[in-house]
Structure 1
């Protein structure tokens, strides 16, 4: 399944790659392999809520880490010394493509004898100290829904090639068969989306999707449903009880890929380098704008550029008036969203709250349009937090 895609990614990353229908399924497989149920996993509080539910489904307790307010990366220096010995694993996020401090986290995990798992969904083209993001962990997961715009598929990569077979077996046990209706819908989706955009029917289409139950988020975060979540936790580790949370925004996250998916994904993966060049160019322009906040490292081909604005909601509304949709918002942070019932809260939550409130994820491929709209709308840059 996806052998040709695996070979291309293996050449790019230099490690064994296993095709998975989605990044979230790949992460679940990795967590179940490397972590015993009941363990504690350090992760970012500014992340998709789906990832929180994947960790819970694996029978693990999320531990929310402090963040760097500038780019949302993990702030390892702010993690209390007392937290490290109780961890079973660390998950990086590489938010929007900004790398987490992988070399430092690798050293920490090695000293503790625990795995480092890299979520590289946003960072397929990012590098740290000359190495690709995803080449530091015991395992890493990549999404082809992001930079390639394939809207399906991903990779689980591993440092130890001997693990490919047991991980492939674990993946296969979780797959559901491909369906003709699903493959047809996938094949037609790009044409339908192009038609909707061309006819300027985006708002109407989204309203219809909500009525049909196809769009499940009315707010940034999905409904937590705490009472139901408690019942699901009693059955963990198991994916099925958490399916209604984990499948949000991607109901085919476990589906075995058909030929149509694999062919289209292959064509898009062939264009990845050109796409990364375009992202790099747009990232450069956005970071040079009044709202840009360049990180400490070299320029990366970011999936989204987190512009820091004083009034994020007003900026989103201004962009929407010009038919520019803002996605990939992660506010409030996961510890505020899930509370102490379902996660260990960050010992230093304010930087994450500030970042989540002010970060405006901007598509680098629309850099010039976004800069023009923000400038003409009078959007003000956010002031650095106190002590920042």
Structure 2
């Protein structure tokens, strides 16, 4: 990854732990961080755990990227950092965000979990900020690990020590479970037992999300905030969907991750091919610029719930839904709401993020369903400035 990005890279057990490291290093507790409201709620809790106040940015309805020009002047003042989202791999307007950060003297931190291989302005996502975090659970399918890329290589030893203090020791049971997981999941899918497996999780109390968003639990969250910055007090939120997010990697994890990462170039080409197919469909919104190897392609349908159910019947799970936006989910007590929430609300409600590696089947299902394409209302698009230097799909 150092060769790919031209930056020093530090392995971390998860993208969320890497982001916590970056926030703690570059931001003083009590600061304010501009971020996307269409984001995983886990990331929201990571920002809170770092002792920071999330500030929700306006988004472009067409692609869910941060709308730099729509952020009011007043919102820029008093920020401690800007955190990009690069949703599904579609790049945020990093050059514009970089200019604002330079003018204000604050760090730009890039969440590139979905964006290995994406570029903006001919430059890789993850090379604009002081630091960026990548996930190896996404494109590579490693189901573990990530890395923190930093602009200043002299900081590596400091960040490495901070990482080691936060990691939990690897255990043989956890390593065995990790090794067996792909085979167990394949068996469940092959025997068509996905529904039964989910019912078992519900009955045993191990299903941590009843809907798209996890339960906020405001009373407990208020109490946790009194201890921030303190990662341990937020563990019950941050570990959701990944209980080993702080686990030091054992040899099995590292070998499997290295093997999968060695295939990255071929995987990125396969993603691009799927993106081309999906982007030519009537459910996609056209975007200028180069074809990106998106981790998920947002299609826009009138009845998303029906589309999700129809895809599930063909054993295609639609994940990475972030509805409602974080300011609606958490409320003004825990975050500064977006000054222009309409774009984020529309995108969050209508985007159907689908796997480009299943492009042909996805389009077949939507055709059979008669799914209706939708477009952002003219009043939302008209309120947004024209995009400079399109990032494309």
TM range (shorter): over 0.9
Task: Please state whether the residue corresponding to 1:63 is helix, strand or coil.
Answer: strand
> Match for residue 163 of structure 1?
155
Determine whether 1:214 maps to 2:210.
no
Query: What does residue range 59-78 of structure 1 map to in structure 2 within 5 Å?
Result: 59-78=51-70
Gapped runs of 5+ residues in structure 1? 1-8
Please, which moves more after superposition, 206-215 or 243-252?
A: 206-215
Bigger shift: 367-376 or 307-316? 307-316
Deviation at 1:317, TM superposition (A): 1.1
Partner-residue secondary structure (3-state), 2:332: helix
Q: Specify the alignment match of 1:284 in structure 2.
A: 276
Alpha-carbon distance in 1 for matches of 2:226, 2:23: 18
Contact persistence 2:301–2:351 (CA under 8 A): yes
Counterpart pick for 1:30 among 22, 36, 39: 22
Aligned to 1:270: 262
Paired residues of 1:310 and 1:383 also in contact (CA < 8 A): no
CA deviation profile, 1:290-334 (whole Å, cap 9, x unmatched): 101133332101000000111111111111122211100000000
CA distance in 1, matches of 2:204, 2:116: 33
Is 1:92 matched with 2:84?
Answer: yes
- Once residues 291 and 368 of structure 1 are traced to their aligned partners in structure 2, the CA distance between those partners, rounded to angstroms, is 13
The equivalent residue for 1:4 is none
- Matching residue of 2:386: none
Q: 2:390 — aligned with what? A: none
Alpha-carbon contact 1:97-1:301 (below 8 Å) kept:
yes
Residue 213 of structure 1, CA deviation: 3.4
- Give the structure 1 partner of residue 389 of structure 2: none
Residues 247-299 of structure 1 show CA distances to partners (whole Å, capped at 9, x for unaligned) of 00000000000000000000000011111111000011111111011333321
Matching residue within 332, 351, 369 for 1:377 = 369
Find the partner of 2:98 among 102, 106, 111. Answer: 106
| More off after superposition, 330-339 vs 307-316 | 307-316
Q: Could you tell me how far 1:208 is from its partner in structure 2?
A: 1.4
Question: Is 1:124 aligned with 2:116?
Answer: yes
TM-score of the two chains, using structure 1 as the length reference: 0.97
Partner residue, 2:178: 186
> Unaligned 5+ residue runs, structure 2?
382-393
How many angstroms apart in 1 are the aligned matches of 2:39 and 2:81?
Answer: 17
State the distance in 2 between where 1:340 and 1:261 align: 40
Distance in 2, matches of 1:284 and 1:39, equals 41
What is the TM-score normalised by the length of structure 2?
0.96
Structure 2 distance, partners of 1:215, 1:105, is 38
How many pairs are equivalent?
380
Look up the match of 1:3.
Answer: none
1-side partners of 2:355 and 2:320: how far apart?
10
Does residue 368 (structure 1) correspond to residue 360 (structure 2)? The answer is yes
Q: What is the alpha-carbon distance in structure 2 between the residues aligned to residue 111 and residue 184 of structure 1? A: 50
Give the distance between the partners of 1:159 and 1:294, measured in 2 at CA. Answer: 33
Which runs of structure 2 are paired with 1:1-388 in the superposition (5 Å)? 9-387=1-379, 388=381
3-state SS in 2 of match to 1:99: coil
Aligned-pair CA distance for 1:382: 1.0
